[in-house]
Amino acid sequence: MTEAEKQVQNAEATEQKDEKTSFSWDNQMNDLKELNWKWKLDKGTIFVIAAVVFALTFYFLIGDISSELRDDALVVQAQFKDEKVIPYESINNLEYRYSHVYGEKIGAFESNTTRCGTFENHDLGTFNNWYTNYVYTATLETILVFYDNGRNCLVFNLPTAEETQAFYLELAEKAGFPAVLPEKPVIIPDTGWSDTFD
């Protein structure tokens, strides 16, 4: 190989080295731009996720049920649910219970404070065994309103036992039922001790 050929070969190698260096520099710049774009995308994604988490937290932690006795009807509405308007003349029976009515969810919403929607319970004897439940979970006492010839049942309460009792008495009076609370059942706690000795 001649000296001139060596110089040409060295020059070509140097050019290729420069091309590789600049190419890798361009790649690095492109990588940085791509990372910056991805970071912006990730910030947007994080913002959307945070907004959804906040909305769901609000949705599941906050719940409100409003109950009203109008001149001609009982009106109960729960947050995110339809308003129930039950004329007094369509009420067939009222029942006051010192416990919740439990059933299988059909189309219901439950939060930390409320349980609202359609449930199924075979003990109530309603059409399809379905009932509407608008209850505060912290209050055990409930009011059961059977209406439309016993085909439907609305189970609801107010934020406290005292408010639920007062509302029941007023509802019973307006609907033409005896305004009397049933006797509260006595619950004897199980201590685990037996009264019999061997």
How many domains in the chain?
Answer: 2
Residue 132 φ/ψ, nearest 5 degrees: -100, 130
Please indicate, yes or no, if residue 69 is contained in any of the structural domains. yes
Please indicate, yes or no, if residue 184 is contained in any of the structural domains. no
What is the structure's pLDDT at 177?
Answer: 94
108 contacts 116 by C-beta, under 8 angstroms: yes
Q: Domain range for residue 165? A: 65-175
Please indicate, yes or no, if residue 165 is contained in any of the structural domains. yes
Q: 3-class DSSP state for residue 154?
A: strand
Mean pLDDT of the chain: 80
Please check whether residues 167 and 69 belong to one and the same domain: yes
What is the structure's pLDDT at 57?
Answer: 64
Q: 3-class DSSP state for residue 51?
A: helix
Please check whether residues 74 and 55 belong to one and the same domain: no
Q: What is the dihedral of CA 158, 163, 169, 175, to 10 degrees?
A: -40
Please check whether residues 83 and 151 belong to one and the same domain: yes
Percent over 70 (pLDDT), the chain: 69
> 109 pairs with which residues across the strands?
116
Q: How far apart are CA 145 and CA 182, in angstroms?
A: 15
Please check whether residues 43 and 98 belong to one and the same domain: no
What is the structure's pLDDT at 155?
Answer: 95
| Token pair 């308007």: residue | 85
Does the pLDDT of residue 184 top 80, yes or no? yes
What is the structure's pLDDT at 15?
Answer: 61
Per-residue pLDDT band at 89 (split at 50, 70, 90): very high
Please indicate, yes or no, if residue 192 is contained in any of the structural domains. no
- How is residue 62 written in tokens? 């906050």
Q: What would the pLDDT profile of 126-176 be if each residue is shown by its tens digit?
A: 777 889 999 999 999 999 999 998 889 999 999 999 999 999 999 999 999
Please indicate, yes or no, if residue 7 is contained in any of the structural domains. yes
Please check whether residues 94 and 166 belong to one and the same domain: yes
Last residue of a domain, one of 22, 43, 61: 61
Per-residue pLDDT band at 26 (split at 50, 70, 90): low
Does the pLDDT of residue 3 top 70, yes or no? yes
Indicate the residue type of 77: Q
Please check whether residues 91 and 162 belong to one and the same domain: yes
> 77 pairs with which residues across the strands?
66
Please check whether residues 56 and 88 belong to one and the same domain: no
What is the structure's pLDDT at 166?
Answer: 96
Say whether pTM exceeds 0.85.
no
- How is residue 6 written in tokens? 């060596």
Q: What is the dihedral of CA 133, 136, 139, 142, to 10 degrees?
A: -20
Does the pLDDT of residue 37 top 60, yes or no? no
Please check whether residues 27 and 86 belong to one and the same domain: no
Please check whether residues 100 and 136 belong to one and the same domain: yes
Please indicate, yes or no, if residue 197 is contained in any of the structural domains. no
Q: How far apart are CA 137 and CA 187, in angstroms?
A: 20
Q: 3-class DSSP state for residue 74?
A: strand
110 contacts 94 by C-beta, under 8 angstroms: no
Per-residue pLDDT band at 53 (split at 50, 70, 90): confident
Please check whether residues 23 and 93 belong to one and the same domain: no
